[in-house]
Amino acid sequence: MSAPAVLVTGGAGYIGSHTCKALAHAGFLPVTLDNLVHGHEWAVKWGPLIKADLADINAVDAVFAAYHPEAVLHFAAFAYVGESVVAPEKYYRNNIGGTLNLLDVMLGHGCRHIVFSSTCATYGIPTTVPISEDQIQRPINPYGWSKLMVEQILSDYERAHPIRYCALRYFNAAGADPEGVIGEDHSPETHLIPLLIEAALGRRPAVEIFGTDYPTPDGTAVRDYIHVGDLAQAHERALAHLLNGGESACLNIGTGRGHSIREVIRAVQSVTGRQVPITDSPRRPGDPPTLVADPRRATEILGWFPRAADLQTIIATAVKWHQAHHRRAPRELNSRPLTSSPCPPAGARKPVEPSPHVPVG
């Protein structure tokens, strides 16, 4: 008997590809739909790859006709926070328009279950920490608004149509596949841990820290870092929840533990045995001092909990990946990066060089 198919939009991206591996190990056939604007063909290893864009509704319909997926895991989205501020139309058109096409095709083919890749950016500046799902959602950038709008669309579709969904609001994804098969490879890279690792390995000159005067123990921003493998398992558990008749839900996916930027720097230095060159700069507007999840509801509903919650363990998997896969970084080192993070960034990025920088999944 063949494995049941699950459509994974953005399955060639960082979190999507790790989730495809988890799905395959759970007995599913992950069918990746990705336009490869920012995903990687080499990351699709556990099922077929269909090179297509959600904007092409006929191509999406053809995938459903060919594979008859039982459910959808929806990662495909542009996710650079800074870019969303200067090009909001791009984010609303892609993140919302693509989702509407996907939902309409799902309905046409009788597919009733979707797990949506949401974000803690829907909360904006939190009023209390740790952040529970009941906290008011007030995004501070178009990226966060686009994700919150999709959550609202899913809720409205469920009232009008026989669709169930899980929206997973996750915090700062980090780490890599412990077996070293896949890992994090963004261009441009804006996430803190890979930037620090590249600086430690001598692949970039320094990492700039934005804000050293926050009301935190060491003055730098605090974030909740969740291993990408644990994120993948959360998606697989959410899928099982829906297929077993579970109710729709919006859930935080994090560790419930926060680490400051300086703590992360020390951990990277401990794992690599090398110093990380850094420079301190003023805060950036809109960076909250602390973002930490309250993940208890995900444990209660999905039976999920993070297995690699220790920061050094998370970093060690990332270091293993980066040591084995030398980044192709010249284009990144010669221009200004865009701010990107599932959550508002933790105040770190590479410095801008004095001379002569919209992802899916």
* Residue numbers annotated as active site: 143
Angstrom distance (rounded) from CA 79 to CA 121: 11
**Bridge partners of residue 293, in order along the sequence:** 131
Angstrom distance (rounded) from CA 220 to CA 228: 23
**CA dist list (Å): 309 to 63, 168, 172, 245, 340:** 37, 18, 12, 29, 22
Distance of CA 117 to the CA centre of its chain: 7
Q: What are phi and psi of 307, to 5 degrees?
A: -95, -25
Nearest to 227 by CA among 10, 5, 14, 1: 14
Q: Compute, in degrees rounded to 10, the torsion defined by CA atoms 334, 175, 218, 275.
A: -60
Alpha helices in the chain (DSSP H): 14-25, 57-67, 81-86, 88-91, 97-108, 142-160, 192-200, 228-243, 261-272, 296-302, 311-324, 330-333
**Bridge partners of residue 115, in order along the sequence:** 73, 166
Burial of 202 (0-12, 13-18, 19+ CB in 10 A): exposed
| Cis? peptide before 139, omega within 30° of 0 | no
Contact 113, 242 (CB under 8 A): yes
Contact 219, 289 (CB under 8 A): no
Angstrom distance (rounded) from CA 8 to CA 73: 5
